[in-house]
């Protein structure tokens, strides 16, 4: 299982502000000055918008106070102040939208860079991680994380920062016009408001985390069920799958109800604080007006400032929740990024250079779990240009050999050598570029046949695709299809038969043209007639290459130069087919048993 730590510090909180610090390099990229200029321009627009908004209450105050006077130019001044107020509101909208236009590329670029890093990390992680993961849940983590970034940045830069600036400026203005009493009342209300918002939101965060977990569980079950559609049908398990999915969605619905109810409580608490302050401030201004201390314009002045201040404060709860949730969602993405890469290239590792494509296992010890060893000091050699087969009972470690050759795992001890070079000392990219494989279950992309064949080598042209299709005996199938190479194969290649999928996999390997070829039980899932056709093709493909065949049916590898017989992770026997039969050991026993099974099947058919 992958480690459940997201940073090197086990005590670190993944949903805290440390997560935001880790994201800042994406927001302020050192290698892209143009984006940093955009951030500076956006900040200037924020300052211009804030200054404009703070000037509007003064314009309304002056307009109201002028209207209370008499004189020849009262109308002109009142009209001037009103028009200036309208122009200020328009300018504020323009500044806000220009800020959004300038900053949009910054937010999208930061989101893209982080998403690409997560995607690249998922491909760097070991096979152990991917065998344990649930595809739906990992997809949901990436989806939520990338969606949260842009929203979180918007609120932090365009809501919190201007609000803090407005609080400071409004405090100064209130002190100059009304004294410290109104400043203190406003400050107390803001503190209580923030405390209530934070307290209730922390409670809601736990509910939200539970919702996310149940949402991911429901999606994971749905994806898992749909990927295994045929298995569900085989066992008439539709109702069982629906019940499992319903259980997950029902639990999610209950958590969502609690979350929404807590939101209502938060809104009520916020409204109480806001309206108490509004009532107190306006009442204080009216009382001062009755004493002749304030003008009618100052009532509008106070009301306008508090309204402008409350507008972002009204959103503070949502902003805090959004940022808090965004940090949680981003932390889940960083947790993927921080998942330990089990198999990594050594610093400065050279590329694998092959002159004679030989393969050697030198006293290899390995197991998937520490308490269960699969290979016990396995040693063998596949000379350059030879065709070697590995056979043995189930659980002997045959497929493990293929995974180790491709370096999906590193052995506990011992070495695996290609042309005398330890594969743990060279880059994985160069290693896998030198290897080709035709697996038992050839999984294809949901693209065209041509795309799947060309996938063997980046940059393969149409001539390469057609030559590989001919080499894999695919041209008869291609000729019968109306769209030819453009025929879609469906998800995982389900629109093709088993034999057709294997031929596409063979063609894909031919396009790659590797010096070393692995055949991992490439025909075990096929019927006898298709198996013989595929075997003939595989023999042609393996000719002139170094090949290692992993087989269950012994008849498919009887002509191999050397046959290695594994038993419980150890090399029990090796030799040619005839040599092993003469020894009358494990191989001869397996051959006799399979021959008897074939004879029994033939008799039953007759």
Residues 400 and 272 in one domain: no
How many structural domains is the chain composed of? 3
2 in any annotated domain: no
Answer yes or no: do 40 and 125 share one domain.
yes
How far apart are alpha carbons 79 and 454 in whole angstroms?
73
Residues in a beta bridge with 387: 547
Looking at the domain assignment, is residue 7 inside a domain? no
Q: DSSP per residue over 478-494, as a string?
A: HHHSTTGGG-B--GGGT
Residues 529 and 497 in one domain: no
Residue at 1 is within a domain: no
Collect the ranges in the chain with pLDDT lower than 70.
1-17, 70-71, 126-137, 310, 314, 316-317, 321, 522-534, 597-606
- The last residue of a domain, from among 304, 321, 338: 338
Backbone CA torsion sign across 597, 599, 602, 604: negative
341 φ, ψ (degrees, to nearest 5): -80, 110
Question: Are residues 579 and 462 part of one domain?
Answer: no
What CA–CA distance (Å, rounded) separates 21 from 514? 45
* Nearest one of 577, 569, 507 to 541, comparing CA atoms: 507
Tell me if 5 is assigned to some domain: no
Token reading at 385: 């240009």
Structure confidence at residue 424 (pLDDT): 92
**CATH code where residue 500 lies:** 3.40.50.300
For residue 132, the model assigns a pLDDT of 62
Q: Among 299, 314, 338, which residue terminates a domain?
A: 338
Strands ordered across the beta sheet of 516-520: 435-438, 516-520, 546-550, 387-391, 562-567, 570-575
Q: Are strands 375-382 and 359-366 parallel, antiparallel or unpaired?
A: antiparallel
Residues 547 and 466 placed together within one structural domain of the fold: no
| Co-location of 200 and 315 in the same domain | yes
DSSP 446: S
Tell me, yes or no, whether 42 lies in a domain: yes
Q: Let me know whether 46 and 133 are in one domain.
A: yes
Q: What is the pLDDT of residue 112?
A: 80
**Residue 257 shares a structural domain with residue 377:** no
Q: 129 lies in which domain range? A: 17-338
Domain stops at, among 312, 338, 364: 338
User: Is there a contact between 560 and 577 (Cβ–Cβ < 8 Å)?
Assistant: yes
The three-class DSSP label of residue 237 is coil
pLDDT at 79: 86
Task: Assign residue 150 the CATH number of its domain.
Answer: 1.20.1560.10
* 595/542 same-domain check: yes
Q: Rounded to whole angstroms, how far apart are CA atoms 546 and 124? A: 28
Give a yes or no: residue 12 inside a domain.
Answer: no
Least Cα distance to 363 among 436, 312, 320, 422 occurs for 422
pLDDT on residue 342: 77
Residue of 575, 586, 57, 574 lying closest to 311 (CA atoms): 57
Same domain, 325 and 351: no
Which element (helix H / strand E) includes 563? strand 562-567
Q: What is the pLDDT of residue 575?
A: 92
235 and 280 share one domain = yes
Residue 358: predicted pLDDT: 92
**Of 327, 453, 284, the residue nearest 15 (C-alpha):** 327
Q: Is residue 22 part of a domain?
A: yes
Do 226 and 215 lie in a common domain? yes
Does residue 6 sit within a domain?
Answer: no
Provide the pLDDT for residue 268: 84
**Would you state the pLDDT for residue 379?**
93
Spatial distance between the Cα atoms of 473 and 469, rounded to a whole number of angstroms: 6
């Amino acid at each position: 299982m992958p480690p459940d730590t997201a940073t090197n510090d086990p005590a670190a909180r993944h949903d805290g502000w440390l997560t935001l610090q880790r994201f800042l390099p994406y927001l302020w990229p050192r290698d892209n000055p143009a984006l940093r200029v955009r951030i500076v321009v956006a900040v200037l627009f924020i300052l211009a918008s804030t200054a404009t908004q703070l000037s509007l209450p003064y314009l309304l105050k002056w307009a109201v106070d002028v209207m209370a006077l008499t004189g020849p130019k009262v109308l002109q001044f009142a009209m001037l102040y009103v028009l200036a107020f309208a122009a200020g509101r328009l300018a504020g909208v323009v500044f806000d939208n220009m800020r959004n236009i300038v900053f949009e590329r910054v937010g999208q670029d930061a989101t893209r860079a982080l998403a690409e890093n997560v995607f690249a990390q998922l491909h760097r992680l070991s096979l152990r991680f991917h065998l344990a993961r649930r595809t739906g849940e990992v997809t949901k983590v990436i989806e939520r994380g990338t969606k949260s970034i842009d929203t979180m940045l918007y609120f932090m830069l365009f809501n919190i920062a201007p609000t803090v600036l407005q609080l400071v400026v409004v405090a100064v203005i209130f002190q100059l016009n009304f004294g410290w009493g109104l400043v203190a009342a406003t400050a107390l209300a803001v503190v209580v408001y923030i405390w209530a918002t934070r307290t209730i939101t922390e409670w809601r965060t736990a509910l939200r985390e539970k919702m996310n977990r149940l949402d991911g569980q429901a999606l994971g079950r749905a994806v898992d069920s749909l990927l295994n559609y045929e298995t569900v049908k085989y066992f008439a398990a539709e109702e069982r799958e629906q019940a499992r999915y319903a259980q997950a969605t029902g639990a999610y619905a209950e958590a969502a109800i609690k979350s929404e109810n807590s939101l209502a409580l938060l809104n009520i608490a916020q409204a109480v604080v806001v309206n108490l302050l509004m009532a107190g401030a306006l009442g204080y201004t009216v009382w001062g007006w009755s004493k002749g201390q304030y003008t009618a314009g100052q009532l509008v002045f106070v009301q306008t400032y508090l309204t402008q201040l409350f507008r972002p404060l009204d959103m503070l709860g949502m902003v805090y929740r959004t940022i808090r949730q965004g940090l949680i969602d981003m932390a889940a993405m960083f947790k993927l990024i921080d998942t330990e890469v089990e198999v990594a290239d050594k610093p400065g590792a050279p590329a694998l250079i092959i002159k004679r494509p030989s393969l050697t296992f030198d006293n290899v010890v390995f197991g998937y779990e520490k308490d269960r060893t699969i290979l016990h000091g396995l040693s063998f050699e596949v000379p350059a240009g030879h065709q070697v087969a590995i056979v043995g009972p189930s659980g002997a470690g045959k497929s493990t050999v293929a995974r180790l050759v491709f370096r999906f795992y590193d052995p506990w001890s011992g070495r695996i050598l290609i042309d005398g070079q330890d594969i743990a000392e060279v880059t994985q990219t160069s290693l896998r570029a030198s290897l080709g494989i035709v697996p038992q279950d050839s999984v294809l992309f949901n693209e065209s046949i041509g795309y799947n064949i060309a996938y063997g080598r980046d940059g393969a042209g149409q001539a390469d695709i057609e030559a590989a299709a001919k080499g894999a005996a695919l041209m008869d199938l291609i000729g019968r299809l109306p769209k030819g190479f453009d025929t879609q194969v469906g998800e995982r290649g389900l629109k093709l038969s088993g034999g057709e999928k294997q031929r596409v996999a063979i063609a894909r390997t031919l396009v790659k043209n590797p010096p070393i070829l692995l055949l991992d039980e490439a025909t075990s899932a096929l019927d006898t007639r298709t198996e013989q056709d595929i075997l003939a093709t595989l023999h042609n493909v393996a000719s002139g290459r170094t090949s290692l065949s992993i087989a269950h049916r012994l008849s498919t590898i009887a002509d191999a130069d050397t046959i290695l017989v594994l038993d419980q992770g150890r090399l029990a026997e090796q030799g040619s087919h005839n040599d092993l039969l003469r020894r009358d050991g494990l191989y001869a026993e397996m051959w006799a048993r399979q021959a008897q099974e074939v004879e029994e099947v033939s008799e039953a058919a007759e």
